[in-house]
Structures are given as C-alpha cells and as structure tokens.
Amino acid sequence: MSKLFVVGIGPGSEDYLTFKAKKIVDSVEVLIGSRRALELFSETTGEKIELDPKNMEKGFGHAISEVRKGKSVALLSTGDPGFSGILKPVLDLSGNLDVEVVPGISSIQLCAAKLEISWDEANLVTLHGKGVSSQLLEALENDKPTMVLPNFNVKEVAEFLLDNSIDPQREVAICERLSYPDERMVKTTLLDVLNENFSYMCVMVIF
C-alpha cells in the first residue's frame, strides 16, 4: 500500500529507537534519510536512499514521487519530526498523500532528562535554519531555563547573548552528542563557552 511515513529516529543511538519506528522501517519498500540515520538500519532490506544535506527538498520530492508510484516510503527524521524536524517541509510538498507521522525522542527531551529539568516548564527555542535572533532574548525574560537547539554553532549563541548584555557569568549547560558513547555534559558560564569547542550536535541550556 502506498504511504509516506515520517519517522522520528531519536537523538542518534539505536537505544532510543522506538519499536514502532523499527517496525515501520522494516515494512517499507523505500527508506530515505541522512547517512547517520540510515546507519541505524543497516540490516533493513528495502531500498535505501541517502538525503543530500545541501538539497533536502530534492530528497523529499523523491520520497513523494515514490509514494505516487504506489510504494511505501519512510522518511527518517532525527529526533522528533515535529520539533525542528522535517515534518513541516514534507507536509508542504505532500499534497493529498496518505501521510503517517511517527514521533521520536527529541534531543531536547534527552537533555532535559540528563539535567533533571521538567521540560514542560522550560522555554524551548530552535535556531535550526534561522540563526540567532531576538526570539532568544525574549525567551530569557522569564525565570525558566531556556533550552536551545543552536544552528550548528554554540559560540554564535554565546556571542549574541553577550553582545546583548546578558550576564557573562550566567550559568549554562551544553549537552553534546547525546546518546552516543562520547556524549558529554558541560556546566559552565556563558563567557566560558567561548573558550571551548563543541560539536554541532548539541543542546544549549541557559539557566
């Protein structure tokens, strides 16, 4: 049966894959995702297509085309498709296709668990594809922790906040490469973020 599944695969480790995600991936004819996502399903027998990070829309279009040909297709989304994931652009292109969204565990959720934050009481801000803006400053106006998905560069966020007169000694935490064997959590100050190097795969929390 032709159908497009938008499947959340969690923060990266297979430990955080849901049974539902595995079941759907094993059942579809075509599997499309980033190289990192596809590596989680090396034993799956369906056709695998790697997304080009420089032209994601082309990959989404290919997925939709395959469904229109009568195939079942799974598009893999890191984390959860509905939070800074691929859901919105895919729905914008999909028209009247039969689409099913399978939620996954976001790195925001895992970060909150690691730091023992009740994330329904936190500000959630994604800068993916946007860059830093006044949205972040507005989020910091209350007393809640602010959980940020940076746009590849944590130092860019720190520099922006410092340039906008946020206290250099304000406490922050960086959760890097969550769920991987080399994950690390660094508790530091906003100013000291500039003195360390971090992977693009991280969540920044400003307390």
- DSSP letter string, 44-112: --SEEEE--TT-HHHHHHHHHHHHHTT-EEEEEESB-TTTTSSHHHHHHHHTT--EEEE----HHHHHH
Percent of the chain predicted with pLDDT > 90 = 85
Cα 93 to the center of its chain, rounded Å: 20
Residue 1's contacts (CB-CB under 8 Å, 6 or more residues apart) are 72
Task: Quickly state the pLDDT bin for 53 (edges 50, 70, 90).
Answer: confident
The residue from 71, 102, 133 where one domain ends is 102
Judge if 30 and 96 occupy the same domain. yes
The yes-or-no verdict on residue 46 having pLDDT over 90 is no
Note the pLDDT of residue 37. Answer: 95
Note the pLDDT of residue 131. Answer: 79
Judge if 113 and 199 occupy the same domain. yes
Judge if 73 and 131 occupy the same domain. no
Judge if 33 and 98 occupy the same domain. yes
Judge if 47 and 125 occupy the same domain. no
Structural domain count, the chain: 2
Helical axes 56-68 vs 87-94, angle rounded to 10°: 50
Judge if 27 and 96 occupy the same domain. yes
Phi/psi region, residue 65 (left: phi>0; alpha: psi -120 to 50; beta: rest), is: alpha
Comparing CA positions, the residue from 32, 80, 21 lying closest to residue 56 is: 32
- Per-residue pLDDT, averaged over 25-54, amounts to 92
Judge if 79 and 122 occupy the same domain. no
Higher pLDDT, 135 or 204: 204
Sheet with 72-77: strands ordered across: 47-50, 30-33, 72-77, 3-8, 99-102
Judge if 111 and 178 occupy the same domain. yes
Average pLDDT of the chain to the nearest whole number = 94
Q: Is the CB of residue 114 less than 8 Å from the CB of residue 186?
A: no
Judge if 112 and 86 occupy the same domain. no
Judge if 201 and 119 occupy the same domain. yes
Judge if 46 and 125 occupy the same domain. no
Q: 107 φ, ψ to 5°?
A: -60, -25
- Provide the domain limits for residue 25: 3-102
pLDDT in tens, 80-132: 999 999 999 999 998 889 999 999 999 999 999 999 999 999 999 999 878 78
Provide the whole-model pTM: 0.91
- Per-residue pLDDT, averaged over 170-196, amounts to 96
Note the pLDDT of residue 134. Answer: 87
The residue from 60, 83, 102 where one domain ends is 102
Note the pLDDT of residue 133. Answer: 84
Note the pLDDT of residue 55. Answer: 86
Note the pLDDT of residue 103. Answer: 98
Note the pLDDT of residue 144. Answer: 95
Residue 199's contacts (CB-CB under 8 Å, 6 or more residues apart) are 176, 177
Note the pLDDT of residue 73. Answer: 97
Note the pLDDT of residue 52. Answer: 85
The CATH number assigned to the domain holding 150 equals: 3.30.950.10
Judge if 98 and 115 occupy the same domain. no
The yes-or-no verdict on residue 1 having pLDDT over 80 is no
DSSP 8-state secondary structure symbol assigned to residue 40:
G
pLDDT in tens, 130-149: 878 888 999 999 989 999 99
The CATH number assigned to the domain holding 67 equals: 3.40.1010.10
Residue 203's contacts (CB-CB under 8 Å, 6 or more residues apart) are 107, 108, 111, 147, 148, 149, 174, 175, 178
The residue from 81, 102, 123 where one domain ends is 102
